[in-house]
Structure formats: C-alpha cells, structure tokens
Amino acid sequence: MGVNIAAENADIKKFDIYSNYSGSPVPISFGVSRLYYYESILDNTVRCTVSLTDTGVRSLGGRSDYGSSALEDGTSLTAGEKVDLVIEDGYGQKINLEGDYHLRIKEIRNILQDTLKTNYTIDLYSKESIDNELVSTRVEKKYQGKISDSVRNILTNDCLKTSKDLDIDLTLNKFNFWGNTEKPFYKLAWLAARSVPELSGINLGTTAGYFFYETSRGYKFKSIDKLFNSTIIRKLIFNNNTSIPLNYDGKILDFSFDSTVDISNKLLTGDLFSQEQRVFNFYDNKYDGEKKKEFDSTKQFNNDDYIGGTDKLKLASDLNIGPTKSNFIIKDIGIAPTGSSLNEQLKTATKENLDVDNILRQSSARYNNLFTVKLSITIPGDFGLNAGDLVYCDFPEISDQNDQKVSSRNSGIYMIVDLCHYINSNPKITGIAGRCFTRLNLVRDSFGRKTF
C-alpha cells in the first residue's frame, strides 16, 4: 500500500436499505453525514452507526427527484430492514457488506424533524445477531470430539447456518458437552475459554484461551497465542514531521497509553502469580480438599513466539508473594462420556472430559494479562485492518537530544482489540472526498520492542 495518502480520501460507494413495506432497495448514500464502522475481538458482530439527513431528494441517473421522501422522517423504517453497504478508503481498499455479509437495522433513534429535513441515526448489525435469538437456532444436541469441529458445526450445519467465511484455529483438546438449548453466541464464547491451540512444541496446560468474533471477512475463532504469532499487517510510526520514513506503512496521528497496573486486582485474579485449586469428583464422590494443586500463571510468558513484547511485568521481589487465588471446581468425570452407545460410554466414563487443573486457570490468566498494556491510536482511514490483526508501532523515546531514538519499552507489536472507521462527510453532497480516520484500541501482554 502507498504511504502518502491523505486522510480525506474515502467514499460511501453503496448504502441501500430494503424497505420492509415495499421490499425494494432505496439508495440513501447521498444523505449520510457521518458513518462509524466497528469491529472488536470482544464482540460477536460487526456494527455500524450512521447519521442521516433526509431532505426528500433522490438521485436518479444523474438528476434529482424532489418528490416526497421514500424514508420520510425515519418512521417508514421499523427494524430489521436489510442494508447493503460498501465503503472505500483512499488506498482503494473496500469493506463490502452486501450479499451474505449484509447488515440489518437494529434501531432507529434520535429523530429530529422540521419542514425541510429530518435527521436520524441508524444502528446496524449482522443478520446472525437476529438469528442468535431464535429458539430454532439454539444449541441442543450433544457434541463430541475437537472443540474446533464443534464450533464449525454450530456456525454452519446445526444452528446459525451462516454462509460467511470461517477462520477457525484447530484445537488440541477434545471436549464433550451438551447444548442445553443455549444461544449459539453464548455457547461459542463458553467454548473459547476451554480451548487449547495446536502449537508445535507446546504441551497441554501451557497455552489456552480463544476469542470468537466477527470482522468484515467473516467469523473468527482464534487462539490468543496464534494471533500473537501471526503476520504483522502494518508498521506505523509517530514522529514530529509530515514525512513517513522508509519501510513504514503509515503515520500515527495521535496516541494515548494506558499501561497502569492495579496490584490489588492482580492479587485478586492471580494472573501474575500462582493459583491453588481444589476439586470435587462426582464420579467417586470425593472432595480433594487437602490437595492444593498449584498452577503458575507466568508459564504463558515462557515462549517468546506467542507474546507481544520482550519483557513481562516485573513486581517487587521482596514481597515474596505466593499463591493469591484459590479456586474450587467440580470435575465433569462421567458427565458426558464419549460414545453413542452405553457400552462405549462406560469405557470412557472414568476419563476426565476437560483438564480443569490447567486449562481454565491458564485461559483466565491469558485473557486478563492480554490487557496489561493498552494503547489507542488514530491513523488515516485504513480499511485493510481488522480486529485481531497485529500492527507494529514505533514511538520516540522521551529525550532532550536532537536525534531521538525509538522507545525500546513502548514500541513494538500490538494486537487490535477494537477498531472504528469514521467517515464524516460524503462526496456526493460536498463534492470533495469524505474525511476518514481509523481509531485502533491496541493491547499486548508485555513490554519491550521485538525486532523482525
């Protein structure tokens, strides 16, 4: 991609609403005054918020129709209308939300009307967000085998029946469970916390924790560790001049860090210390109350390939902190044994279904430590980025020298946890390109600048 693209370059190529009354598409891209597009690894749907100004003018083959508005005052819209949306940034990159990826109207709000125009705001989300609420899509049957296979079946064959692309990291562990008539999105997030990725040279209990989320490219079920081991999408820099150095893809316009650590919270969650666990086994009706099985939460930092920085958080060694959290859990031995017949199930009834001693504590620590360093940046609009992508950010070291060095602590690899693309005007109205910016909320689990 080029590096000298102005932030003003963006265009709303298509914005068609299919009325619930007529069923016909109504093009209203010319009425958009502001558009926000959102993705997050913490959200199971992409979202869009659009501010519209409706004056009753319709573009018809290069001329204008000043008849009554097809979407007069927003009240002819109800909810659930199909919306096709296509937007393009200054690099020529598009977000195509049409066809299988179309959006639905979640809500129409903030309606302000006078005799000449109507202003209102529309919130959009994916069709699967509606399907998720239906009784007919609930997760009901028993699932066996690898979690990644169960996730694929819930999304396609059994429940949501989505046609969108799926990006699912294979899981190392198998897990048997019942659907319990729960909603698909809830069940997929529940499975994410119980998933261990297939990684070369990594054993069970060393890594755990997935995210289930949606981007403009489809649904993702991704391992945290694999995300940090993926390809860096952009290399960005913040400097005090207008030029962009060689080997960088773009410029950071502004940024803010939030790297504060609350030791009380870390002591409460045990994410940086060891944890004890006591279990009750329903199969033999025994409580292992005297067996305090310790788990070292810092093991996730042992392999540099799967963390963002080079240095984990260091706390005062003279505190001599031992285990700070005690867990109690019931093992599910005999609850959902593998097999379709009674004889098959009896053979596996004494085997543990899920390694609760390692997986659940590991995934909990992984989720919480991921947000150790938080950074927000604004860059010129870049629709080639998605939630879960890695970006490399370089910041200057604070110094009174003329030749500033790159900060070895704050610079480096970050993961996009949230993003927002913002377009604040439409060239069909103003005659100039819409100004577009991208806001990225970034996180990582450690400090230090990796080289690559």
Q: Cβ of 183: how many Cβ atoms within 10 Å?
A: 19
| Residue 239 DSSP SS3 | coil
Q: What angle do CA 198, 204, 206 make, to 5 degrees?
A: 95
Question: Per-residue pLDDT for the chain (452 aa), expressed as one digit of tens each?
Answer: 544 455 567 889 999 999 887 778 888 887 888 999 999 999 999 999 999 887 665 443 333 443 345 455 444 678 899 999 999 998 999 999 999 999 999 999 887 776 667 788 999 999 999 999 999 999 999 999 999 999 999 999 999 999 999 999 999 999 999 999 999 999 999 999 999 998 876 666 678 899 999 999 999 999 999 999 899 999 999 987 777 888 899 999 999 998 777 778 778 877 777 777 788 877 777 777 555 666 766 666 666 777 777 777 777 777 778 778 877 888 777 777 787 777 877 777 778 788 877 788 888 888 888 888 899 999 999 999 999 999 999 998 876 666 678 888 889 999 999 999 999 865 555 455 568 999 999 999 888 888 76
348: Cβ–Cβ under 8 A, 6 or more apart, which residues?
337, 338, 339
Tell me the HSE value of 177 on the side-chain side, using a 13 A CA sphere.
Answer: 21
Domain extents in the chain: 10-126, 263-367
| Residue 26 DSSP SS3 | strand
Structure tokens at 436: 């577009």
**Rounded distance between C-alpha atoms, residue 200 and residue 225, angstroms:** 12
Structure tokens at 97: 């939300």
Among candidate residues 410, 403, 387, the one with its CA nearest the CA of residue 252 = 410
Distances (CA, A) of 169 to 26, 147, 250, 321: 39, 10, 30, 36
Buried b (16+ CB within 10 A) or exposed e, 92-126: eebbbbeeebbbbbbebeeeeeeeebbbbbbbbbb
Question: What torsion do the CA atoms of 219, 225, 231, 233 make, to the nearest 10 degrees?
Answer: 60
Structure tokens at 58: 């319709």
Return phi, psi of residue 255, to 5°. -155, 160
CB 139 within 8 Å of CB 179? yes
CATH code for 10-126? 2.40.10
What is the full DSSP assignment across 151-174? HHHIIIIISS---S-EEEPPBSSB
CB 366 within 8 Å of CB 295? no
CB 261 within 8 Å of CB 313? yes
Helix (H) or strand (E) holding 368: helix 359-369
**Rounded distance between C-alpha atoms, residue 424 and residue 422, angstroms:** 6
